[in-house]
Amino acid sequence: MSRQHTNSSGARAWLGLLVVLGPVLLVSMDGSILFLAMPRISQDLNPTADQALWILDIYGFAVGSLLIAFGTIGDRYGRLRLLMIGATFFGIGSAAAAFAPSPELLIAARAVTGVAGATLLPAALAVLSELFADPRRRAQAIGIFAAAFAAGFAIGPVAGGVLLERFWWGSVFLINLPVIALFLCFAPVLLREVRTTRPGRIDAVSVVTSAVGLLFVIYSLKHTAAEGFSILSVLGGLAGGALLTWFGVRQRHLEHPLMDFSLFSDRVFAVAIITGLLPLAAWSATAYLAGIYLQSVLDLPVLQASLLALPGALVLTVTCVVTPAVVDRIGKRTALLICHFSIPAGLILLLPTTITGGVGWYVASTVIAGFGYGISFAVVADTAVGAVPPERAGSAGAIAEASNEIGNALGIALLGSLAALLFRIQGPDLAPTLDETLHLPDLTAPIRDEAKSAFVTGLHAAAAVAALLHLALGLLALRWLPRSSQADPLPPPDAPAALAHRQLR
């Protein structure tokens, strides 16, 4: 192969990566861009407490529950085709969300963008693996992919705050449209179609039971937190648990399972995937609650609140970019341990916040925890894709990305519901949410302070629970992750993709 042809192929690969990063950035941004917009949406659409939580995480639920299915579908029917279809519907859903006149329609539009987002991530990661045949280049590209994914989550609230300072809340969705249009124009030119030759069939029953099971469980948690126990919430939770259990049992008897649970028998793989889920759960819940805290408790303007999130977002993004190079020196075991212990160190800094002040504690919390969040993004993506042959890249990448998105949804569902429950128990019991309470007419100062104090208690509880879970995961990692006395070398340039995965230290 001539040098000119090699350079041309290399340039095409990097341009293809640049095109792929647009949708990746949007998918992750849409998981967090509403954190600062919710007070405005609550004022205009007046959603119930239940609806407000669904507006926030029906997107993450849809992405997380369908990622693995679409990873397999892309492997079989074509990843570029799936990317094009997903990008189109992502744009349609974004436009519908921007002009939604009611909470119900906004939830529906967010669900559409979530389903579309589930098609984009695994297909994009698999196409990226095909673009870069050289393992070293592929590792660099995956690191950039992970950084873009992390950056989207981190800068979502910042971008939302800047837009909300000048425009109405629907603008946070319209920014997706130019990026989607550019992708649809350039992707067919720069990206090649990729599919496997023996992918197996798609088990539709597994797709439905996993998605519906998650839906029932999340609904049960939300309903219980907002309104207390009821027959409907208990039955929904039991039905969801039963469906998820059946889903797990079914996978063990399928020739081509939707999720290969046998992979979790490897302790390193299990820790890595939990590392994909738990940090996102902590980050999404605390970012959402902190956005309300800054605006509704401390009465800060939305732009100032968004700028306060910038230091943590910068640390998270830079950490994600440099982590692959650092891991080559210190090993993945050390990197994961830093991740698991820096996140709780940052989370506990939210505990001194009060209804009269806490901006400094908030910024310090996001900066310190940002190191751990950035490491988790970079290490999980590399571990998942590097451990499998190219023909399984879509499915394997989907498991890693699914852990992120399910963590994002469950963080708000579980920790957000915990905060909502404490507000309902300790608050003045005049309205189900803080924003609704503060907008009641003739509200006295003592009642206002009581409502704010109840909300801060919920924020503290969510942060404390997330910190304890990360400490437990850190101790588990200390016990389970193997040690190595030497750094793990990169594979030679012509090594198969399955050997590109470097063992943990």
Q: What is the 3-state secondary structure (H, E, C) of 423-459?
A: HHHHCCCCCCCHHHHHCCCCCCHHHHHHHHHHHHHHH
Query: How far apart are alpha carbons 344 and 332 in whole angstroms?
Result: 19
- Is there a single domain that holds both residue 323 and residue 359? yes
* Residue 1 covered by a domain: no
- Is there a single domain that holds both residue 241 and residue 273? no
- Is there a single domain that holds both residue 213 and residue 116? no
- Is there a single domain that holds both residue 94 and residue 238? no
* Residue 113 covered by a domain: yes
Q: What is the pLDDT at residue 493?
A: 35
Query: How far apart are alpha carbons 245 and 117 in whole angstroms?
Result: 26
* Residue 355 covered by a domain: yes
- Is there a single domain that holds both residue 198 and residue 121? yes
- Is there a single domain that holds both residue 377 and residue 265? yes
Query: How far apart are alpha carbons 250 and 494 in whole angstroms?
Result: 38
Residue that is last in its domain, among 225, 242, 257? 257
Query: How far apart are alpha carbons 1 and 4 in whole angstroms?
Result: 8
- Is there a single domain that holds both residue 98 and residue 136? yes
Give the 3-state secondary structure of residue 358: coil
- Is there a single domain that holds both residue 109 and residue 186? yes
Output helix, strand, coil percentages for the chain, rounded to the nearest 5.
80, 0, 20
* Residue 46 covered by a domain: yes
* Residue 2 covered by a domain: no
- Is there a single domain that holds both residue 72 and residue 162? yes
Q: Domain residues for 251?
A: 203-257
Q: What is the pLDDT at residue 225?
A: 67
Residue that is last in its domain, among 257, 280, 299? 257
Q: What is the pLDDT at residue 375?
A: 86
* Residue 505 covered by a domain: no
Q: What is the pLDDT at residue 491?
A: 40
- Is there a single domain that holds both residue 270 and residue 180? yes
C-alpha count within 13 angstroms, C-beta hemisphere, residue 215: 12
Render 226-245 in DSSP notation, one character per residue: HH---HHHHHHHHHHHHHHH
Number of domains present in the structure of the chain:
2
Give the 3-state secondary structure of residue 301: coil
Q: Report the amino acid identity of residue 393.
A: A
For residue 76, what is the domain's CATH number?
1.20.1250.20
- Is there a single domain that holds both residue 299 and residue 351? yes
Consecutive sets of 10 residues in the chain, 505 residues long: mean pLDDT of each?
Answer: 48 81 80 75 82 79 72 70 87 92 92 85 70 71 73 75 82 88 86 59 81 80 72 89 91 79 72 84 87 90 82 84 81 86 95 94 94 82 58 59 71 83 88 82 90 95 95 87 50 34 34
* Residue 357 covered by a domain: yes
- Is there a single domain that holds both residue 283 and residue 250? no
Cα dist from 194 to 11, 17, 27, 79, 384, whole Å: 19, 15, 22, 6, 19
Q: What is the pLDDT at residue 107?
A: 92
Q: What is the pLDDT at residue 86?
A: 87
* Residue 139 covered by a domain: yes
